């Protein structure tokens, strides 16, 4: 079992967990007001997008 | 207006003034508004700093016929290893999530949870830095060797530096929180720390795509 | 009139910081925006003197086609340092650091800027950066001009690295100042001062701060890369190693074109304050002027590549930049016409500040017109890199930014010190400066068009095809002494008037913005009670639009009568 | 509380229309004068129309001068006029105020619209000239290369082995395409009498298209700071009648042959190294040639499919895409409707290098 495979596996699991939690948090905070919360929501969204990128990378859709 | 209630400046001691200042709550909120806007503007300027180098990277990448570039000796440089980077990215994103939980628990007066999540964040942050160090060590390209190395090490180095600062920032915040600097209603420092940490994560999203996936 | 506030509401029991005791806390590491403004003013004037001296060395060198006084190497260092110092160590700190710091918080009725400590920090970076910059003379001054295009700047003398460091530092200072001012204007306006009741100088400062905060960081990036390439050989710009010289030009001009708006916008603000006061007539088209400031600030980010029409940028890219550049001329023209309409039919008091403002209208208009000449790509193919460009930007910066700054000095000096500057010296100084400026830079247009490139230590070949070359260069060099005299006179006037100047009282000019409602010089805390604003400060026949003022005073302030002018010239 | 004398009615001022009429008359007069008289007071040798593009650019200068002069006259004139007629008289109390006018929408509308129309007109005319300078008038220009050095100019002519220094010759009345690039740092190629300029940027080739119309000797100057002796970096440009120019070119060729006799050995395509060729390509060719298809032009066509391109079965010189023919082009350069490519010798390629580059191109399949 090669290092690359382990890395991919961990990345896959991690991305799933982080992505889901981030999305859930985003949903919970959705109605919060205030400029700081607005920015936080934006950043959380982009982080979720980052997790999607990781998944795409894991399945070799992007990169490689 | 009740202009008469103003103590004549110069006639009251510094202590009176400071006392009055600290007891007036709207003064704090005013301060918070200013600091928040100031901090967000600081993040904006930081985004611009990164985007200049990202612009440089795209520009240099598109100004040569093939990428990764070919260096003296006709050797074409290898692409970066996606697998490890993907793993390391997840570590960093994870730290973003934990930081968010830390903030949430603080907002819900759950100090214990706050510290637990904060420590988790710091550990993950350090883990990411370790991963970066490992990757730097294992790379075949050098900083000054090619435009690829130049842009990669400069951008990721700048980002790593930001993460490093962030880790210290979070440690300081933790200690302050322990010594009771922040209260349930006044915790701007923590807000700033969280924003900064999320910002660092998001910058990495861009770098991860540009260097490993593009 | 209803009090609708765009800003945080300051209650009367709002805190007043106690004045610090001790010389150091008071005058050296002060966090008082007024003291910091003075520090900027003094430091800036010192650097102004040095950079002006360098300019005179340039003029002396060009007295002879083969170069009168120094070697090519020395000359290259001199003009590079002149440009760099004038842009980053003189104009920008003076118009943002000095003017913005002193006037803006007073105009919005605030007790200080949002982050006083940050303000102090950004000032103290400035002299350090200046020292580093001028220290580069010791190790070999940078020689590639203030633009430092690679690859030549990669081969430049060691001083070029110091240049990078100095400009990087001053860039940090500018960024912090911009951030600070943006928050101050956005959050700390007096109750009732909505965005559309803000004085125009504050509008200009806000627009400037926006550019300062956004663009300057871009320059920092470019400089960081240049520094890394010079010191560690990291390839960004060197074409031999895969880099691109054009990349630097993009990154550099993305800052440095907005930078000219950093220099000129505060001057616009000054003119918009000075003209109505001395014409006793409302500013014409308040909204148009205010919004055109923002329009310029924003459009200013989309025109940088008009500095690169001959640089080998992709041809199709040149058209949008040409069109944007021409479009940005329109809000500028609108401002000029509005200022003309402001004085039209007014009752003009010809104080020195007013003279400078009127002179500004002429010289800046001329600079703007030559700007259009440069915006047209084919014409620029002829003009680029010649003395035509030199003339253009000296008309804009010297005839625009500096004239506006001098108007501001004469206008706000009484507020800052409680004494008027001497008007006779001031007017004499104005005519010296105005004639000197035009005499020096007007002929440069023709020299440039007839083939004199800039940054030439010698112009033997050019003198062969254009025999008048030497005559005009001598003429310019002589005329430039007028500006030297004017500067010397100003410095003497400032020192003289600090001690013997006529006491000014609260409001010598009958102006109506908030800073003229508090004593001069203003107290440490500026406003005991934060005033309430009911309207625009430009209606000269109505009572002041403020409530809750500190000082009892005329509801309709009138100018304290200066010696009635014999002529419009006023000397 | 200070009294204020009631704001007086707005008056345009004594003789306002007279003054305006005088300025307008002056503007019309000077407009006519600028339009009809030669611009020799503003631009060198303007009346001679030294080049066709130069003439176009001079026309732009006329246009801009006319309106620039008008705007400057009005602004300056009104500043002076207002300063005189509206200054506070000695007998007037200090507290007199002007008419309280805040704006005049019609006025603002017109003074926003008119400049806009002006710059649009200027933009349109500029675009036309810019296009002609960039892409020529259609006829394939006679291509000459200019290469900037610290601190002199090098000129290369099609079919001429070796280079000419410090004196550029151009044929009279023939469309010319000047290809500008640099060997070291950024210089600039400027001929004031031609009104044309292009920076010489290393690793980049710009071109200027025009037709010289007047024989004579002109000055070439460097306008981009290039080092210690920047201000001594000039060269002469001689525009000759075609026959004289041809004679000069033949003379140069003869000299070059004498110099370079026997230097060109046969290319041995057998021993070639595609890897080395790839390096050479990025160093010597990539500035002008992409690795895409034929149509992905930089300066010359893309070479990625040069051996296998169905759309362009023939090479640019009409031969079949065999290794020998490709090597022949690389070795001897090319000059034709697609522009000018320097020879292997001018590019500093040994015959081994030529073989390597050919092998590299052949390997791109």
Taking CA–CA distances from D179, the nearest residue in chain C reads C312
In DSSP terms, D142 is beta-bridged to D176
Q: State the CATH number of the domain containing residue C156.
A: 1.20.210.10
Q: How far apart are CA C486 and CA C22, in angstroms?
A: 36
Under the banding of pLDDT at 50, 70 and 90, the label for residue C505 is: confident
Q: What are the extents of the domains in chain A?
A: 3-58
Answer yes or no: are the C-beta atoms of D94 and D76 closer than 8 Å: no
The answer on pLDDT for C216 being more than 90 is: yes
pLDDT recorded at residue C565:
47
Task: Give the number of other CB atoms < 10 A from CB of residue D208.
Answer: 24
- D234 phi and psi angles, rounded to 5 deg: -135, 170
With an 8 Å Cβ cutoff, are C462 and D219 in contact?
A: yes
**Residues 6+ positions from A33 with CB-CB distance below 8 Å:** none
* Residue C348 touches chain D, beta carbons under 8 Å: yes
Residue B5 lies in a domain: no
Backbone phi and psi for residue C536, each to the nearest 5 degrees, phi listed first: -70, 145
- Name beta bridge partners: D206: D180
Kindly determine whether residue B56 and residue C251, on different chains, have CB atoms separated by under 8 Å: yes
Q: Burial of C65 by CB count in 10 Å (0-12 exposed, 13-18 middle, 19+ buried)?
A: middle
For residue C561, name the pLDDT band (cuts at 50, 70, 90).
low
Could you tell me which chains touch chain D, where touching means 3 or more CB pairs under 8 A? B, C
B56 touches chain C (CB under 8 A): yes
Burial state string for D226-264 with b = 16 or more CB within 10 A and e = fewer than 16: bbeebbebbbebbbbeeeebeebbeebeeebeeeeeeee
Domain range for B54 is: 26-213
Please give the pLDDT value at position C13: 44
Cβ-based neighbour number of residue C196 at 10 Å? 12
pLDDT for C10 equals 45
Check if D1 contacts C (Cβ < 8 Å).
Answer: yes
Task: Summarize pLDDT for A4-49 with one digit per residue, the tens.
Answer: 888 899 999 999 999 999 999 899 888 888 888 899 999 999 999 9
Interface test with D, best of C318, C381, C506 (most D CBs within 10 A): C381
CA atoms within 13 A on the CB side of D54: 24
Residue B112 lies in a domain: yes
3-state class of B89 per DSSP? helix
Complex ipTM above 0.90?
A: no
Task: Determine which of B51-55, B188-192, C422-426, D278-282 has the lowest per-residue pLDDT on average.
Answer: D278-282
CA of B78, closest CA in chain C: separation in Å?
A: 16
d(CA B40, CA B21): 25
**Domain count within chain C:** 1
Could A63 and B201 be called an inter-chain contact, meaning their C-beta atoms sit closer than 8 Å? no
Instruction: Name the DSSP class of C468.
Output: T
C vs D, Cβ pairs < 8 A, gives: 295
- Does some domain include residue C13? no
Predicted TM-score (pTM) of the model is: 0.87
Say if residues D235 and D153 touch (Cβ distance below 8 Å). Answer: yes
Q: Do A64 and B209 touch (CB under 8 A)?
A: no
Q: Of D202, D274, D278, which to mutate for an interface test with B (greatest number of B Cβ within 10 Å)?
A: D278
Residue D40 lies in a domain: yes
Judged by 3 or more CB pairs under 8 A, whether D touches A is: no
Lowest-confidence pick of B67-81, C417-431, D12-26, D298-312:
D298-312
Smallest Cβ distance to A40: which of B195, B213, B214? Answer: B195
CA distance, residue D247 to nearest chain B CA (Å): 41
- Among all residues of chain C, which has the CA nearest to that of B8? C528
Helix (H, G, I), strand (E, B) or coil at C109: coil
Chain-chain contact of B97 with A54 (C-beta, under 8 angstroms) = no
Which residue is associated with the tokens 């002007």? D98
D99 and D176 belong to one structural domain: no
Edge-to-edge strands of the sheet including D152-156? D164-165, D152-156, D142-149, D176-182, D206-210
Task: Select the residue from C372, C382, C511, C568 to test the D interface by mutation, using most D Cβ atoms within 10 A.
Answer: C382
Maximum Cα–Cα distance across chain C: 76
Which residues in C lie closer than 8 A to residue D103 (C-beta atoms)?
Answer: 284-286, 288
Q: Where are the alpha helices (DSSP H) in C344-422?
A: 352-375, 377-383, 387-396, 403-417
Rounded Cα distance between A25 and B97, Å, is 9
Q: Which residues of D touch B69 (CB under 8 A)?
A: 282
What is the distance between the alpha carbons of residues D347 and D332, in angstroms, rounded to a whole number?
10
Mean per-residue pLDDT, B72-100: 89
Q: What is the mean pLDDT of residues B37-63?
A: 94
Query: Distance, in angstroms, between A57 CA and closest chain B CA?
Result: 7
Are C249 and C387 in contact by the 8 Å Cβ rule? The answer is no
CB contact under 8 A, B97 and A8: no
One domain, residues D112 and D173: no
Q: Is residue B213 helix, strand or coil?
A: helix
Domain carrying residue D244? 142-259
Task: Give the closest of C333, C381, C446 to D195, CB-based.
Answer: C381
Both D179 and D243 in a single domain? Answer: yes
Q: Say yes or no to pLDDT of C9 above 70.
A: no
Q: Say if residue C14's pLDDT is above 60.
A: no
Name the band, by pLDDT with cuts 50, 70 and 90, for residue C548.
Answer: confident
DSSP conformation class of D153: E
So what's the pLDDT on residue C563?
A: 52
- Please tell me whether residues D27 and D87 are part of one structural domain: yes
Residues 61-80 of B with CB under 8 A from D: 64-66, 69-70, 72-76
CATH number, position B176: 1.20.120.80
Q: Is residue C15 part of a domain?
A: no
Q: What is the pLDDT of residue C570?
A: 44
Is there a domain that residue B139 lies in?
A: yes
* Host H or E run for residue D190: strand D187-191
Digit-coded pLDDT (tens) for B107-154: 888 999 999 999 999 999 999 999 999 999 988 888 888 899 999 999
Last residue of a domain, one of D135, D170, D191: D135
CB atoms within 10 A of CB D3: 10
Q: How far apart are CA C461 and CA D65, in angstroms?
A: 28
Q: Is B26 on the interface with C (CB under 8 A)?
A: yes
Q: Which chain D residues have a beta carbon less than 8 Å from that of B75?
A: 275
Q: What is the mean pLDDT of residues B45-50?
A: 94
**Mean pLDDT score of chain C, rounded to an integer?**
90
**Would the CB atoms of D282 and B76 count as touching at under 8 Å?**
no
Q: Tell me, what's the pLDDT at D294?
A: 76
B138/A contact by beta carbon, under 8 A: no
Chain A contact present for B198, CB below 8 A: yes
Q: Which chains reach chain B with 3 or more Cβ–Cβ distances below 8 angstroms?
A: A, C, D
* B121, B105 Cβ separation under 8 angstroms: no
Average the pLDDT over each of C17-26, C200-209, C452-461 and give the range with the smallest value.
C17-26
pLDDT of residue C556: 84
Residues of chain B contacting C217 with CB distance shorter than 8 Å? 45-46, 48-49, 52
Is residue D7 situated within a structural domain?
Answer: no
The more confidently predicted of residues D348 and C421 is C421
CA C181 to chain B, closest CA, distance in angstroms equals: 10
| Overall number of domains in chain D | 3
Tell me the pLDDT tens digit for each residue of C92-101: 999 999 999 9
> End-to-end CA distance of chain A, in Å?
19
In a domain, B36, yes or no: yes
C119 phi and psi angles, rounded to 5 deg: -60, -45
Interface test with C, best of B22, B48, B66, B149 (most C CBs within 10 A): B48
| Six-digit token string for C89 | 């160590």
The predicted-structure confidence for C263-288, as pLDDT tens digits, reads as follows 999 999 999 999 999 999 999 999 98
Q: What is the pLDDT of residues D3-22, one digit of tens each?
A: 556 666 788 888 999 999 99
Reply yes or no on whether the pLDDT at B9 is more than 50.
Answer: no
Mean confidence (pLDDT) of chain B: 86
C-alpha neighbours within 13 Å on the C-beta side of residue D52: 15
CA atoms within 13 A on the CB side of B153: 22
DSSP state of C419: B
8 Å CB contact of D277 and B65 = no
Quote the number of domains for chain B.
1
The answer to whether position D6 is within a domain reads no
Domain residue limits at C164: 35-547
Residue of D nearest to B72 (CA): D279
**Residue from B46, B87, B207 to probe the interface with A (highest A Cβ count within 10 Å):** B87
DSSP state of D184: S
pLDDT in tens, C423-469: 999 999 999 999 999 999 999 999 999 999 999 999 999 999 999 99
- Whether residue D183 contacts residue D252, with contact meaning beta carbons closer than 8 Å, is answered with no
More confident residue, C108 or D307: C108
Specify the residue for token string 């295009």.
C149
Does residue C173 have a cis peptide bond before it, meaning omega lies within 30 degrees of 0?
A: no
Distance CA B60, CA B78 (A): 17
Distance (Å, rounded) from C-alpha B167 to C-alpha B122? 6
State whether residue D125 is helix, strand or coil.
Answer: helix
* Percent over 90 (pLDDT), chain C: 77
Question: Taking the mean position of all CA atoms in its chain, how far away is CA D122?
Answer: 18
CATH of the domain at D312: 1.10.760.10
């Amino acid at each position: 079992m090669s290092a690359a495979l382990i890395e991919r596996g961990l990345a896959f699991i991690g991305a799933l967990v982080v992505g889901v939690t981030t999305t859930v948090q985003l949903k919970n905070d959705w109605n919060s007001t205030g400029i700081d919360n607005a920015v936080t929501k934006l950043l959380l969204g982009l982080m979720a997008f980052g997790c999607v990128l990781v998944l795409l990378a894991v399945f070799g859709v992007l990169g490689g | 207006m009740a202009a008469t209630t103003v103590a004549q400046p110069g006639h009251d001691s510094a202590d009176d003034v400071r006392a009055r200042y600290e007891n007036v709550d709207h003064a704090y909120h005013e301060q918070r508004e200013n600091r928040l806007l100031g901090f967000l503007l600081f993040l904006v300027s930081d985004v611009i700093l990164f985007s200049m180098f990202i612009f440089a990277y795209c520009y240099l990448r598109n100004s040569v016929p093939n990428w990764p570039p070919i260096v003296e000796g006709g050797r074409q440089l290898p692409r970066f290893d996606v697998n490890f980077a993907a793993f390391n990215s997840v570590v960093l994103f994870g730290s973003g999530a934990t930081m968010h939980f830390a903030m949430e628990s603080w907002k819900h007066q759950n100090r214990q949870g706050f510290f637990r999540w904060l420590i988790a964040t710091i550990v993950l942050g350090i883990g990411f830095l370790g991963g970066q160090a490992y990757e730097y060590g294992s790379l075949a390209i050098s900083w000054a060797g090619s435009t690829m190395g130049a842009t990669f090490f400069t951008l990721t180095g700048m980002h790593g530096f930001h993460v490093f600062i962030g880790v210290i920032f979070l440690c300081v915040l933790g200690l302050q929180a322990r010594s009771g600097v922040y209260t349930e209603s006044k915790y701007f420092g923590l807000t700033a720390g969280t924003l900064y940490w999320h910002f660092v994560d998001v910058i990495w999203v861009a770098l991860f795509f540009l260097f490993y996936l593009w | 009139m209803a009090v609708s506030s765009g800003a945080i509401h300051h209650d009367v029991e709002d805190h007043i910081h106690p004045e610090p005791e001790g010389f150091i806390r008071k005058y050296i590491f002060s966090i008082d925006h007024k003291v910091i403004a003075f520090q900027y003013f003094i430091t800036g004037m010192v650097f102004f003197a040095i950079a002006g001296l360098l300019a005179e060395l340039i003029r002396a060198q060009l007295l002879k086609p083969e170069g009168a006084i120094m070697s090519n190497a020395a000359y290259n260092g001199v003009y590079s340092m002149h440009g760099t110092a004038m842009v980053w160590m003189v104009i920008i700190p003076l118009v943002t650091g000095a003017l913005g710091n002193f006037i803006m918080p007073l105009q919005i009725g605030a007790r200080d800027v949002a982050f006083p400590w940050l303000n102090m920090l950004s000032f103290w970076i400035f002299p350090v950066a200046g020292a580093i910059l001028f220290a580069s003379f010791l190790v070999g001054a940078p020689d590639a001009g203030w633009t430092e295009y690679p690859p030549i700047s990669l081969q430049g003398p060691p001083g070029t690295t110091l240049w990078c460091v100095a400009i990087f530092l001053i860039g940090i200072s500018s960024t912090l100042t911009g951030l600070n001012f943006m928050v101050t204007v956005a959050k700390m306006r007096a109750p009732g001062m909505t965005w559309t009741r803000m004085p125009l100088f504050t509008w200009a400062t806000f627009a400037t701060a926006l550019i300062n905060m956004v663009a300057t960081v871009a320059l920092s990036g470019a400089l960081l890369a240049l520094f890394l390439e010079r010191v560690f050989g990291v390839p960004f710009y060197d074409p031999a190693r895969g880099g691109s010289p054009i990349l630097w030009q993009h990154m550099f001009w993305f800052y440095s074109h907005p930078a000219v708006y950093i220099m000129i916008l505060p001057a616009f603000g000054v003119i918009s304050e000075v003209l109505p006061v001395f014409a006793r007539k409302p500013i014409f088209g308040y909204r148009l002027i205010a919004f055109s400031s923002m329009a310029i600030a924003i459009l200013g980010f989309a025109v940088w590549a008009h500095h690169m029409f001959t640089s080998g940028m992709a041809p199709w890219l040149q058209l949008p930049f040409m069109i944007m550049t021409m479009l940005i001329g329109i809000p500028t023209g609108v401002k000029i016409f509005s200022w003309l309409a402001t004085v039209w039919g007014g009752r003009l008091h010809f104080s020195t500040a007013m003279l400078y403002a009127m002179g500004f209208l002429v010289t800046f208009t001329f600079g703007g017109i030559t700007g259009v000449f440069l915006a047209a790509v084919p014409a620029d193919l002829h003009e680029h890199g010649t003395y035509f460009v030199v003339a253009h930007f000296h008309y804009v910066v010297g005839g625009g930014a500096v004239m506006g700054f001098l108007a501001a000095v004469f206008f706000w000096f009484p507020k800052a010190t409680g004494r008027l500057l001497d008007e006779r010296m001031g007017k004499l100084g104005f005519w010296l400066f105005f004639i000197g400026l035009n005499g020096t830079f007007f002929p440069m247009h023709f020299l440039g068009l007839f083939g004199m490139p800039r940054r030439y230590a010698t112009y033997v070949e050019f003198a062969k095809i254009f025999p008048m070359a030497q005559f005009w260069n001598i003429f310019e060099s002589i005329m430039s002494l007028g500006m030297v005299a004017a500067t010397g006179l100003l410095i003497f006037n400032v020192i003289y008037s600090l001690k013997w100047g006529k006491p000014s009282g609260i409001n010598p000019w009958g102006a109506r913005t908030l800073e003229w409602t508090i004593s001069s010089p203003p107290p440490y805390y500026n406003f005991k009670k934060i005033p309430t604003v009911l309207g625009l400060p430009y209606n000269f026949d109505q009572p002041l639009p403020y409530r809750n003022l500190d000082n009892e005073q005329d509801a309709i302030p009138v100018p304290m009568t200066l010696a009635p002018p014999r002529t419009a010239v006023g000397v | 509380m200070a009294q204020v004398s009631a704001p007086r009615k707005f008056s345009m001022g004594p003789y306002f229309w007279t003054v305006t009429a005088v300025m307008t008359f002056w503007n019309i007069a000077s407009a006519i004068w600028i339009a009809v008289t030669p611009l020799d007071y503003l631009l060198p040798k303007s009346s001679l129309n030294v080049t066709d593009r130069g003439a176009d650019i001079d026309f732009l200068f006329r246009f801009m001068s006319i309106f620039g002069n008008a705007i400057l006259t009005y602004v300056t004139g009104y500043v002076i006029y207002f300063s005189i007629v509206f200054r506070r008289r000695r007998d007037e109390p200090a507290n007199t105020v002007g008419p309280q006018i805040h704006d005049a929408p019609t006025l603002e509308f017109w003074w926003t619209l008119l400049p806009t129309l002006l710059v649009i007109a200027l933009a349109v005319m500029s675009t036309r000239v810019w296009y002609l300078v960039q892409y020529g008038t259609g006829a394939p220009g006679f291509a000459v290369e200019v290469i900037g050095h610290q601190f002199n100019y090098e000129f290369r002519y099609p079919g001429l082995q070796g280079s000419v220094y410090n004196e550029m010759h151009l044929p009279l009345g023939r469309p010319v395409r000047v290809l500008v690039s640099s060997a070291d740092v950024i210089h600039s190629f400027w001929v004031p009498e031609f009104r044309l300029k292009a920076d010489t940027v290393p690793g980049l080739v710009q071109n200027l298209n025009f037709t010289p119309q007047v024989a004579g000797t002109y000055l070439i100057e460097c306008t981009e700071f290039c080092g210690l002796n920047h201000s001594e970096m000039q060269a002469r440009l001689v525009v000759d009648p075609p026959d004289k120019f041809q004679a000069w070119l033949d003379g140069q060729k003869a000299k070059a042959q004498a110099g370079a006799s026997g230097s060109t050995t046969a290319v041995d395509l057998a021993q070639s190294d595609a890897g080395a060729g790839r390096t050479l390509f990025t160093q010597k060719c990539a500035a002008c040639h992409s690795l895409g298809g034929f149509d992905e032009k930089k300066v010359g066509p893309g070479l990625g499919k040069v051996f296998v391109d169905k759309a362009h079965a023939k090479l640019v010189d009409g031969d079949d895409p065999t290794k020998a023919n490709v090597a022949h082009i690389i070795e001897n350069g090319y000059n034709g409707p697609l522009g000018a490519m320097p020879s292997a010798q001018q590019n500093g390629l040994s015959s081994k290098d030529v073989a390597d580059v050919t092998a590299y191109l052949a390997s791109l399949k």
